[in-house]
Amino acid sequence: MYTYERKGVAVTLLKGKLVLLVLLLAVWAALAYPLDAEELAVAAVVALLISLLPLGSAGVFGEIRTSPRALLFAVAYVFVFLGELLKANIDVAFRVLKPELPIRPGIVRVRTNLHTRLGRTLLANSITLTPGTITVDTDGDVFYIHWINVASDDIEEATKRIVAKFERYLEVICG
């Protein structure tokens, strides 16, 4: 018999495998659109087989909230991320094309309010994928970010400029 804590782990793992199955199917459908019945059947079988593999990290997908609000924030997050990605690409391109624009590279500390492994991983990757910033290291709720143009050495101001735009959505999606 499971103890209460073991049941929670088992439920999280099962939820993680179900979320992984749905994500795999969604990615397959997006890449193979338009789908026919045979393709969808093969996709379902392959996604099911992959999600049933004994992946120790599949439980991390159980940290994703599946409420309507979280799903809405996940869709919004994609657009927010793409907007930040576009702005950062333009900023870096201008700095390359106009050498007189200031560049003050440095490593800054920022804090996050995210508590889940998945939330922190998504935040670190979102920062790294945005040109001009790279997550160098993490230590609990502190991230060390290499910033192409350090606008502030203050941890609160740097957090506001780098982290806050992503964190607001990630808190709702995965806590």
Please, which pLDDT band fits residue 138 given cuts at 50, 70 and 90? Answer: very high
- What distances in angstroms separate CA 46 from CA 23, 39, 51, 52, 99, one per listed residue? 12, 11, 9, 10, 50
pLDDT at 108: 93
Same domain, yes or no, for 75 and 48?
no
Instruction: Using the 3D structure, point to which of 14, 38, 62 is the last residue of a domain.
Output: 62
Beginning with the edge strand found earlier in the chain, give each strand of the sheet holding 142-147 in spatial order. 106-111, 142-147, 133-139
User: What value does the mean pLDDT take over residues 64-86?
Assistant: 91
Same domain, yes or no, for 113 and 52?
no
Split into its structural domains, the chain has a count of 2
pLDDT at 8: 57
Please, which pLDDT band fits residue 57 given cuts at 50, 70 and 90? Answer: low
Same domain, yes or no, for 76 and 146?
yes
User: What value does the mean pLDDT take over residues 109-131?
Assistant: 92
Same domain, yes or no, for 55 and 95?
no
Same domain, yes or no, for 146 and 94?
yes
pLDDT at 56: 57
Residue 10 predicted with pLDDT over 70: no
Buried b (16+ CB within 10 A) or exposed e, 69-80: ebeebbeebeeb
Of 46-55, 94-103, 166-175, give the lowest mean pLDDT range. Answer: 46-55
Same domain, yes or no, for 53 and 72?
no
% residues pLDDT > 90 (the chain): 42
User: What value does the mean pLDDT take over residues 138-165?
Assistant: 90
For residue 75, what are the domain limits?
Answer: 68-174
Same domain, yes or no, for 73 and 31?
no
Instruction: Confirm whether pTM is higher than 0.75.
Output: no
